Structure 1
Amino acid sequence: MNKQPNFLIFITDQHRADHLGCYGNTQVKTPHIDALAHSGTRFERAYVANPVCMPNRGSIMTSRMPSVHGARSNGVPLPLESVTFADLLAEFGYHTGFIGKSHLQNMEDKPPLLPPAVQLPGTEKSRAYSEARRENDDPSAYEQELRSRWQDPQHQITLPYYGFQDVVLCNHHADECFGDWLRWLQVEHPDLAGRLGREHGDRDPRYVAPQAWKTQLDEFTYPTHFIATQTSQWIERHVAEHPEQPFAVICSFPDPHHPWTPPGRYWDMYKPEDIRVPETMGADGEVAPHVRWLMEERKGGQAKLDGPRLFAATVREVQEMIALTYGMITNIDDRIGMVMETLRDCGADSNTVVIFTSDHGDLMGDHGIVLKGPLHYQGLVRVPMIWREPGTARVDAVARDDLTSSIDLGAAIIHRAGIAAPNGVQGKPLFTPNGEPVHTGRDAVLIEENQQRAYLGFERPVKVRTIVTRTHRMSVFAEGDWGELYDLQSDPLEKHNLWDTPQAQVLKCDLMQQLVQLLMEHSDNSPNPKRIA
């Protein structure tokens, strides 16, 4: 068997595939990420298992769908009994580390949004069992990433954490992050530590976009630089102290997620007036019901502009948001270049698989909407995924168009390390243990979403299931008889919904059957029945 490779895994947050140079964007500057793609493999049809942070991060870690691993939406932690690819790598001798934004557990002390189960008349409520599944005996085990817990100077992550032997935490977004980064800032730059967040940020009078402020931090005190520095130092220490031991480290950036606060020179790096907005921004013609609902909400002054929920935006707002997002992305790219330089300088590059991906995209003006939610347009559900094999001297980039999912990433990592997938893993390998490509063989990918809010005109919390094939995308909502069906070949911008058109009814029926089969295929088969002796 070949020597086990190292793994360096870069993850960004809320980052569309087409917001990278190597994916065809001619405005954003990403030379270091592009270099990985030019000497590796770029996946053109990589899709999320869920377009929301916690569920999809759980799927990356476990290679299982959110409905199976249990973190079905934000606010629902990944069960601690989950087996992650880090657990498996550690068992086979790897040193594992996680640096940056984790978000496998809740970050804020907020109660669940979903109402409790209805208690029928004539019934008595159990005092011992409020849920259908027993919860962990120690509730604090699921409070390790909470902002309130990190206010205690003695609080630390209990290791190993989902298989990671080392954790350096930087949770949340922009200059409102907390964790090890904030503790470092409080020691090294106490004056700045007291001037963080939107209440201390400066509003640029040229900008009208909500959630956009000039942070008091420079690029070297901003979380992106801290995460890259900690990753570089972690790699240097490991190579110096354990040169024969393989390693796997995740470098997870909270950006380019909103709020939009690129530090220092990155604030003015891109001019809003130069930004091209999506072609569907303000497009004439058919407007989907859920898009119309958001537009009417904004016109009526009811839109929530300062939170994470999607909203309708103006052309100028979208230009500003994209310009500031590009600044955040270029900042990330510069820091990836820094980590890659460390990898080369310490001699580990020749045996390290380098991976780049994101947990999900952002609508960022598609159909006039920004942020994320149950509108499964390509900008939200299609993510960048780059895999660079060690020692590659390829001149031309390799682009793969086989359908891949976030659940494939962890499965691909353990397969590349020569480790068999345990029962219940649903992802497909992407490369052999020798680094040769393996086609996924997928005819379609499944995307799940369970929201905790009722909006978009629905009376109950929104649930949607999406199937993406090589040629079409269909989304089915739990409430109502309305849905979406787009021909991705003739209508790549998803402007013409075929759901109710007579000529598409046979196709819709076929896709419905394929969706049902996907749902059955992705039901759980772990654990196996226990044998009774």
Structure 2
Amino acid sequence: MGKEFMEKRKNILLFIADQLRADSLGCMGNTEAATPNYDALSEEGILFENAFCQSPICVPSRCSFNTGWYPHTNGHRTIHYFLEKEDPSMMKSLKKNGYHVYLMGKSHYFDRQDEAEMAATCDLEYIGCEMSTNAIHRIGQSVSKEEISANPYYYSFYFGEMSKEAAAKTQDDLVIERTLAMIQNHELKEPFCLYVSLNLPHPPYEVEEPWFSMINRTSIKIQTQPIEHLKDKPSILYRIRENQNLTKLTEKDFQEIKATYYGMIAKLDHQLGRVLGALKEQGYYEDTHILAFADHGDFTGDYGLVEKTQNTFEDCLVHIPCIIRPAQGTPFQPRTSSSLVELNDLPQTVAELLHYELDYTQFGKSLTALFENEMELHEYVLSEGGRIQGEKQAMEGYTGKASIYWPRLEAQTRMPEHSKAFMVRSDQYKYVYRLFEKDEFYDLTADPWEEKNVVDDQRYRLEIAKMKDWLLKKLIETTDNVPMKTMLPGRTYGEE
């Protein structure tokens, strides 16, 4: 980016969804979706159709895209391990470089209780409320084993239609109303970073009208077989399927779950449209870089499963939407890019867009290289999760059976189910190295739903060997970082 575009410092909007699959948007080819605002934004900017997160669960992914690190770089492999005080982040970098940062909604990556961390991260935080009204996840409820067994929907995360009164009290609705008020009342000091992070469409699967009935149930397709019909998949999938006890659900039931999920996405799209509309009305839109993406995906009935896992990497979990509409004056060509990109490319991208340098070692690459021309930014993308033997702090904790999270949390107490694993993915192949159980390899051209693990097929041995070599090199390059504070004052360090 040249100095000719630096007369006025641009603003930036980060609009972040939680658990949003790439294939659930119209602009990504979904004909059942109702996402006109995402679709319009993709036509106005750059749609990165091959974007992947670095972890299939919230905190590790958010730590990664806020730092440019991989989860293994500093041990961020569990929802309980936020960034340390001395760790960098995208918001801290923005603050250091003169930006006013407004953190709206779910951050889920740093210690909000630490006053110094809060001051270094943002000018203002507004979370609305900690949990959605209906999304109490049945924690602490007294439910008998008989009641759970008798209810085939109990672990399905399906709550159905939410009342409008309850919806108005959810965290997302409160956050959006406050965000709109700040824009409309010109409370934002420029240059600003508006970080709007919503829960939608994170399960439980529930939404109010008109979105609940917006999706045609009969048009929904369930693309995959139940996991018990497939061979050589990760053992945690079979365990969760058994624990969730969803075998009595019919295809129609899973259509209902997926339709409700799409309804939640339709509401998310509506909220995106309201924020963009307010920026336009108040004259901020043209001078604001807009980045819309998600932290990870969701099973939503695929393989007969719901929600997510901590250590499997089906595309429904790790392939996420990513759209960038650069501010005026930034050279770019509205287009769809098919290049492989990673979420941890965002810190370097934001630094490039806003003309500052990152003052720490990170591993992302700027997506601005793809703004006008197609090129290979990454040969492969990486995602990871799981744990080693005895690593109890990575299990997320064990709860009673009354919690709808029990099926996954219980599976994470077992080995090899919770085996540490790394995914290496190209545009055609996916290889997963598993520490304590059988590896995986999928030919995505022949098997886009990853139902046939062909890791033992000798026809792919050279490609598997190549991906293993790449993984080894990648881990050596990114396995840690030397903090900048170790550089001694008064010394001169050479340039490479």
Structure-1-length-normalised TM-score: 0.76
Does residue 473 (structure 1) correspond to residue 417 (structure 2)? The answer is no
Cα distance in 1 for residues equivalent to 2:441 and 2:346? 27
Q: Number of residues paired by the alignment?
A: 449
CA distance, structure 1, for counterparts of residue 418 and residue 120 of structure 2: 29
Question: Hey, what does 1:24 align to over in structure 2?
Answer: 29
Alpha carbons 2:241, 2:304 under 8 Å: kept = no
Structure 1 residues 285, 170: CA separation in 2 closer, same or farther (over 3 Å shift)?
A: same
Q: How does 1:316-335 map to 2 (within 5 A)?
A: 316-335=252-271
Change (3 A) 1:318 1:171: farther
Once structures 1 and 2 are overlaid, which stretch shifts more, 40-49 or 461-470? 461-470
Superposition deviation, residue 298 in structure 1: 4.5
Q: Secondary structure at the match of 2:234?
A: helix
Distance change (3 Å), C-alpha of 1:258 and 1:198: farther
Question: For 2:435 and 2:25, how far apart are their aligned partners in 1?
Answer: 34
Tell me the residue number matched to 2:405: none
Correspondence for 2:177 among 229, 250, 274: 229
What is the aligned partner in structure 2 of residue 113 from structure 1?
Answer: none
Distance 1:29 1:392 in 2: 31
Matched, 1:458 2:406: no
Which residue of structure 1 lines up, in the alignment, with residue 202 of structure 2?
A: 257
Instruction: Quote the offset at 1:420 in angstroms.
Output: 1.3
Match of residue 424 from structure 1: 361
- Report the CA distance between 1:84 and its aligned residue: 1.2
Which is worse superposed, 344-353 or 84-93? Answer: 84-93
Indicate whether 1:337 and 2:270 are aligned: no
Secondary structure at the counterpart of residue 370 of structure 1: coil
In the alignment, structure 1 residue 166 sits paired with structure 2 residue 103: no
Q: 1:497 to 1:419 in 2, by over 3 A?
A: same
Deviation at 1:103, TM superposition (A): 1.2
User: 2:462 maps to which residue?
Assistant: 506
Q: Determine the structure 2 residue equivalent to 1:288.
A: 232
Deviation (angstroms), 1:76: 1.2
Shift in Å at residue 503 of structure 1? 2.1
Counterpart selection for 2:378 from 442, 465, 487: 442
Matched, 1:411 2:377: no
**1:65 corresponding residue in structure 2:** 70
Helix, strand or coil at the partner of 2:320 = coil
Amino acid at match of 2:318: V
Task: Rate the CA distance shift 1:46–1:101 in 2: closer, same or farther, 3 A.
Answer: same
1:268 corresponds in structure 2 to 213
2:144 corresponding residue in structure 1: none
1-structure distance, mates of 2:329, 2:274? 19
Asked whether the equivalents of residues 326 and 332 of structure 2 are also in contact (C-alpha less than 8 Å), the reply is no
How far apart are 1:446 and its partner, in Å? 1.4
1:367 aligns to what? 303
Compute the displacement of 1:477 (Å): 1.1
Please tell me whether the aligned partners of residues 214 and 263 of structure 2 are also in contact (alpha carbons under 8 angstroms). Answer: yes
Contact 1:70 1:78 in 2 (8 A): no
Letter of the structure 2 residue corresponding to residue 270 of structure 1: I
Whole-Å separation in 2 of the counterparts to 1:207 and 1:304: 7
1:211 maps to: 157
CA distance in 2 between partners of 1:91 and 1:442 (Å): 29
How much does 1:75 deviate? 1.3
Contact 1:208 1:317 survives alignment (8 Å) = no
Measured at CA, do residues 440 and 321 of structure 1 come closer, stay the same or move farther in structure 2, by a change above 3 Å?
Answer: same
Per the alignment, residue 60 of structure 2 pairs with 55
State the match for 1:490 in structure 2.
Answer: 446
Pick from 64, 76, 84: which aligns with 2:81?
Answer: 76
Q: Give the one of 289, 309, 330 matched to 1:353.
A: 289
Q: Distance in 1 between matches of 2:466 and 2:24?
A: 33
For 1:12, which of 4, 17, 22 is the aligned residue?
Answer: 17
Show CA shifts across 1:287-313 (max 9, x none).
Answer: 33436x6457645xx4378xxxxx996
> Would the alpha carbon gap of residues 343 and 51 (structure 1) be closer, same or farther in structure 2, given more than 3 Å must change?
same
- Structure 1 residues 298 and 390, CA gap change in structure 2 (3 angstroms): closer
Task: Tell me whether 1:45 sits opposite 2:50 in the alignment.
Answer: yes
Correspondence list, 1:77-156, <5 A: 77-105=82-110, 142=111, 144=113
Deviates more, 1:363-372 or 1:523-532: 523-532
The AA in structure 1 aligned to 2:445 is Q
SS of structure 2 residue aligned to 1:167: strand
1:458-487 Cα offsets, whole Å, 9 max, x none, are 34742111111232111111113x110011
Q: Output the amino acid matched with 1:249.
A: L
CA drift of 1:208 comes to 4.4
The corresponding residue for 2:473 is 517
Unaligned runs of 5+ in 1: 106-141, 145-155, 179-195, 200-205, 306-310
Deviation at 1:62, TM superposition (A): 0.9
Q: Is the 8 A contact 1:298 1:312 kept in 2?
A: no
CA distance in 1, matches of 2:245, 2:82: 25
**Per-residue deviation, residues 331-352 of structure 1 (Å, max 9, x unmatched):** 1111111111110011011101
Aligned partners of 2:11 and 2:191 also within 8 Å:
yes
For residue 409 of structure 1, give the secondary structure of its aligned residue in structure 2: helix
Query: 2:103, 2:195 within 8 Å by CA — same for their partners in 1?
Result: yes
Give how far 1:232 is off: 1.9
Contact 1:172/1:254, CA 8 A, preserved across alignment: no
Q: Deviations over 1:325-382 (max 9, x none)?
A: 1111111111111111110011011101111100001122333322211221111111
Residues 228-285 of structure 1: CA distance to partner in whole angstroms, max 9, x if unpaired? 2222223334x4674xx311111111110111121233222224343222x2134997
**Partner Cα distance (1:478, 1:418) in 2:** 41
Name the TM-score, length of structure 2 as normaliser. 0.81
Task: State the distance in 2 between where 1:163 and 1:435 align.
Answer: 28
The more displaced of 446-455 and 460-469 is: 446-455
RMSD of aligned Cα (Å): 3.3
Letter in 2 for 1:424: T
The letter for the 1-side match of 2:348 is A
Q: Assess if the C-alpha contact under 8 Å between 1:430 and 1:437 holds in 2.
A: no
CA distance in 2, matches of 1:207, 1:523: 43
Question: Matches of 2:274 and 2:206 in 1, distance apart?
Answer: 21
Identity of aligned residues (%): 25
Contact 1:360–1:380 (CA<8 Å) still a contact in 2?
A: yes
Kept after mapping to 2: 8 A contact 1:22/1:37? yes
Partners of 2:361 and 2:331 in 1: CA distance: 36
